[in-house]
Amino acid sequence: MKLLPFEKPLGELYEKIEQLKTLSRESDIDLSSEIKKIEKRAEAVREDIYQNLTPSQVLQIARHPNRPDSLSFFRLISEDFIELHGDRAFGDDPAIVGGLGRIDGRRVMWIGHQKGHDTKENIRRNFGMPNPEGYRKALRLMQMANKFGLPIVTLIDTPGAYPGIEAEERGQAEAIARNLREMMGFGVPIVTFVIGEGGSGGALGIGVANRVYMLENAVYSVISPEGCASILFRDAKQADIAAKNLKITAKDIVGLGVADGIIPEPLGGAHHDWSSVSLAIKAQILRDLAEMSTQTPETLRQSRYAKFRAMGVFTS
Amino acid sequence: MSIIDWFAKREKNTVDTTEKLNIPGHLWIKCDHCQEILFQKDLKDNAHVCPKCGFHFRMVAMDRLALIFDPASFVPEDENLGPTDFLSFSDSESYTDRIRKAQAKTKRQDAVVSGMATLNHNPISVAVMDFSYMGGSMGSVVGEKITRTIERGLAKRCPVVVFTSSGGARMQEGIMSLMQMAKTSGALDLLGRAGIPYVSVLCDPTTGGTSASFAILGDFNFAEPGALISFAGPRVIEQTIRQKLPDGFQRAEFLLSHGMVDRVVDRRELRATLSLVLDMVWGCPAV
């Protein structure tokens, strides 16, 4: 597994353990007490690193190439997931995926940004940066869910909507804005999880929900720390400071009242254990859907509006 | 001519020139587009549109209200709402300092003016964004005031008109700025359900989070000629794709040809256009 830069001290200890194990196997010398000692140290270093993560370190975990992706979550969490394609107007955007699934028998419409785990897949998925047709596909599927009374579950994981010539020509702004307005009006429950990167309007475009959750090492931000640094600090290398200022971590987002809760991840990040994270998300979905299943469409709409209506800090 | 004479002559010349050009600078302005030197008053009398080439200068909020609505009909609302640095955000300058400077410069609390006005004696709930206040960026106050403008339209059952001019979400308020996009767009869902018209007038520039929320969601989207309207700014796109952008890219006329706005409307025609469409869909006859 790819180690992140701040995990380097840990990587060195693991390497040492491996070397000693090989040595003891090949030379028949008992090094088990030595190994145990280093393992203990590694454990201490591990806890020390992960319990004091800086925002930019969390960001690195959120962007880890092995972090579980939307399609994998759909399949791990729901039975008989079936993917549905296309916006019926222009094309099928691989950077946003969606389809029907059943979670413990409960039918839902899944929507999510889709990143890849390697360069080839990432190029195909445009690194999870949707074009307008992605948002329009998401809208089409959500409208279908609304029509058939199915709850909507969305997973957010994008650096942002794609900034390209064609995206502008086809109305990136309009595609996102329309989703914000339409999602507010649906009469079915909507639950959103920020599973990795919650990048700006491109994230929010599928994120207007009754309940919003952050995975422990996910981030949610109005602009990427790099983008913020290059505009405000005129230096993209100041991204660490920007990340701190922007308050992008799960704890910050919940503290500001923008998300309702945090889904715990295994120490080191979700990429170490996809299935435990899937179970935690599944449990949360089932709790929320059970709670909201008795609410009328009007109540669901009103409470969703009230939630976002209350956001903002100002003096008067 | 001795060198001293030369200096004396040069000095004399300087004095002459200064005298000739000793006209208060704010009386004259050069057109950004055709380079014509314009008399400020002529420009103001022409709705801040260059009489020679038709270039639309940016306009301050109060001038815009005076130009479009019935004389002295505007009554401001929510003027007391002010921004606060709840994230303790600090880059090269603290957000608190930036707020203070912007307030001193614009003499207003935040980047939008809102309230009630009349158009041919018909009530309109209106908001005008002010680009000179931190680039018209949308933080909590802007989002709240826009939302209240929409809600006033709902409560009073009158059309809502918003003039946008904004670089997008305000970074200094982090995620809370982003959420203003959902809040304002959500309010428009309610307005739409109530069957009340909403007109968005997109002025230069309207980009980022503002364009991707209430600015583009009008029943009518009218754009001012030449206005930059985009989701991603031209510089961001150039950096991403590493090629030069075509001429006129993301200008009002480009959006018209790509189906994103209903019309590009000359500012001098805007009052008439607004009156006409609002009368057609809502019954606001010009008296």
The model's pLDDT over A75-105, given as tens digits with 9 standing for 90+, comes to 999 999 999 999 999 999 999 999 999 999 9
> Stretch B252-274: mean pLDDT, rounded?
97
Q: How confident is the model at residue B5 (pLDDT cuts 50, 70, 90)?
A: confident
B232/A311 CB distance under 8 A: no
> Which tokens go with B267?
């500012």
What angle, 0 to 180 degrees and rounded to 10, lies between the N-to-C axes of helices A70-77 and A274-292? Answer: 70
Q: Which of B80, B190, B213 sits opposite A177 (nearest CB)?
A: B213
Residue numbers of B between 47 and 76 with CB closer than 8 Å to A = none
Per the listing, tokens 């700006």 go with: A200
Which of A182, A256, A316 is facing B81, going by the closest CB pair?
A: A316
What letter represents residue B98's amino acid? R
Question: Which residue from A minimizes the CA distance to B151?
Answer: A309
Answer whether residue B20 shows pLDDT above 50.
no
If pLDDT is split at 50, 70 and 90, which confidence band does B1 have?
Answer: low
3-state secondary structure at position B58:
coil
Instruction: Give the CATH number of domain B59-282.
Output: 3.90.226.10
* Strand stretches in chain A, DSSP E: 79-83, 96-103, 106-113, 152-158, 190-199, 211-215, 219-221, 261-263, 314-315
Are A174 and B216 within 8 A, CB to CB?
A: yes
What percentage of chain B exceeds 70 in pLDDT? 92
User: Which B positions 127-156 lie with beta carbon below 8 A of chain A?
Assistant: 140-141, 143-144, 147
Judged by CB atoms closer than 8 Å, whether chains meet at A167 and B192 is answered as no
The list of chain A residues with pLDDT below 50 reads none
Domain ranges of chain B: 59-282
CB distance A151 to A108 below 8 Å: yes
Q: Distance between CA A141 and CA A134 in Å, rounded?
A: 11
**Which member of B170, B212, B229 has the closest CB to residue A201?**
B212
Interchain pair B178, A221: CB under 8 A? yes
By Cβ distance, the residue of B179, B212, B237 closest to A308 is: B179
Interchain pair A315, B140: CB under 8 A: no
- Tell me which CATH code domain A59-309 carries: 3.90.226.10
Six-digit token string for A228 = 């913020």
Which whole number is the average pLDDT over B166-184?
Answer: 97
Which tokens is A221 given? 């931000």
Decide: B175 and A248 in contact? Cβ < 8 Å.
yes
B262 to chain A, minimum CA–CA distance in Å?
Answer: 13
Residue B19's pLDDT band, with cuts at 50, 70 and 90, is: very low
Give the whole-angstrom CA distance, residue A190 versus residue A209: 5
Band (B8; pLDDT cuts 50, 70, 90): low
Q: Which long-range contacts (CB under 8 A, 24 or more apart) does B53-59 make?
A: B54/B225, B54/B266, B55/B31, B55/B226, B56/B204, B56/B224, B56/B225, B56/B226, B56/B227, B56/B266, B56/B267, B57/B29, B57/B32, B58/B131, B58/B132, B58/B165, B58/B203, B58/B204, B59/B203, B59/B267
Contact of B189 with B225, CB cutoff 8 Å: no
Torsion of CA A97, A100, A61, B88, to 10 degrees: 90
- Is A158 at the interface with chain B, CB within 8 A? no
CB contact under 8 A, A233 and B92: yes
Angle at A219 between CA A216 and CA A222, to 5 degrees: 155
Please give the distance of CA A78 from its chain centroid, rounded to a whole number. Answer: 17
β-bridge partners, A83: A99
Alpha-carbon gap: A297 to the closest alpha carbon of chain B (Å): 14
Q: % helix / strand / coil in chain B, to the nearest 5?
A: 45, 20, 35
Q: B25 pLDDT band (50/70/90 cuts)?
A: low
Q: Do A316 and B80 touch (CB under 8 A)?
A: yes
How many Å apart are CA A166 and CA A129, to the nearest integer?
13
The ranges assigned to domains in chain A are: 5-52, 59-309
User: Is pTM, for the whole model, over 0.95?
Assistant: no
Render pLDDT for A114-144 as a digit per residue (tens, 0 to 9). 999 999 999 999 999 999 999 999 999 999 9
Q: How far is A301 from chain B (nearest CA, A)?
A: 10
Q: Search chain B and give the residue with CA nearest A198.
A: B175
